Amino acid sequence: MEPLIQINAATKSFQKNKETITPLDSLSLDVAKGEFLSLMGPSGSGKTTLLNLIAGIDSPSAGEIRIHGRDIAKLSRAQLTRWRAEHVGYIFQLYHLVPILSAYENVELPLLLGKWTKAERKAKVMAALELVGLSDRADHRPSELSGGQEQRVAIARAIVHDPALLVADEPTGDLDRESADAILKLLSTLAEEHNKTIIMVTHDPKAAAAAHRALQLEKGQLVTSGHLLNHMPT
Ligand SMILES: Nc1ncnc2c1ncn2[C@@H]1O[C@H](COP(=O)(O)OP(=O)(O)OP(=O)(O)O)[C@@H](O)[C@H]1O
Ligand SMILES: [Mg+2]
Going by their DSSP bridges, the two strands 221-227 and 19-31 should be labelled as unpaired
Q: Is 148 in the pocket of ligand 1 (CB under 6 A)?
A: no
Give the pLDDT confidence score for residue 116 in this predicted structure: 94
pLDDT in tens, 25-73: 999 999 999 999 999 999 999 999 999 999 999 999 999 999 999 999 9
CATH 3.40.47.10: does it fit domain 5-226?
no
pLDDT in tens, 128-170: 999 999 999 999 999 999 999 999 999 999 999 999 999 999 9
Give the integer Cα–Cα distance in Å for 225 and 188: 20
Q: What percent of the chain has pLDDT over 90?
A: 88
Amino acid identity, residue 171?
Answer: P
Residue 180 confidence (pLDDT) above 70: yes
Torsion angle of the four alpha carbons 56, 212, 170, 46, in this order, in degrees rounded to the nearest 10: -60
Give the pLDDT confidence score for residue 223 in this predicted structure: 87
In sign, the C-alpha dihedral spanning 36, 47, 178, 155 is negative
Q: Name the β-bridge partners of 19.
A: 16
**CB-based burial label for 90 (10 Å; 0-12, 13-18, 19+):** buried
Q: Which of 12, 43, 48 to mutate to test the pocket of ligand 1 (most atoms within 8 A of CB)?
A: 48
Tell me the residue length of the chain: 234
Domain boundaries, the chain: 5-226
Are 9 and 28 in contact by the 8 Å Cβ rule? The answer is yes
Q: Is 44 in the pocket of ligand 1 (CB under 6 A)?
A: yes
Q: Which of 45, 54, 170, 174 to mutate to test the pocket of ligand 1 (most atoms within 8 A of CB)?
A: 45
pLDDT in tens, 219-228: 999 987 555 4
**CB-based burial label for 100 (10 Å; 0-12, 13-18, 19+):** exposed
Global pTM reads 0.92
Residue 184 confidence (pLDDT) above 80: yes
The alpha carbon of residue 142 and the mean position of all alpha carbons in its chain are separated, in whole angstroms, by 21
Going by their DSSP bridges, the two strands 36-40 and 213-218 should be labelled as parallel
Give the pLDDT confidence score for residue 114 in this predicted structure: 85
Distance 48 CA to ligand 2 centre (A): 4
Average pLDDT, integer, range 94-110: 96
Going by their DSSP bridges, the two strands 5-16 and 62-67 should be labelled as antiparallel
Going by their DSSP bridges, the two strands 197-201 and 36-40 should be labelled as parallel
Q: Is 14 in the pocket of ligand 1 (CB under 6 A)?
A: yes
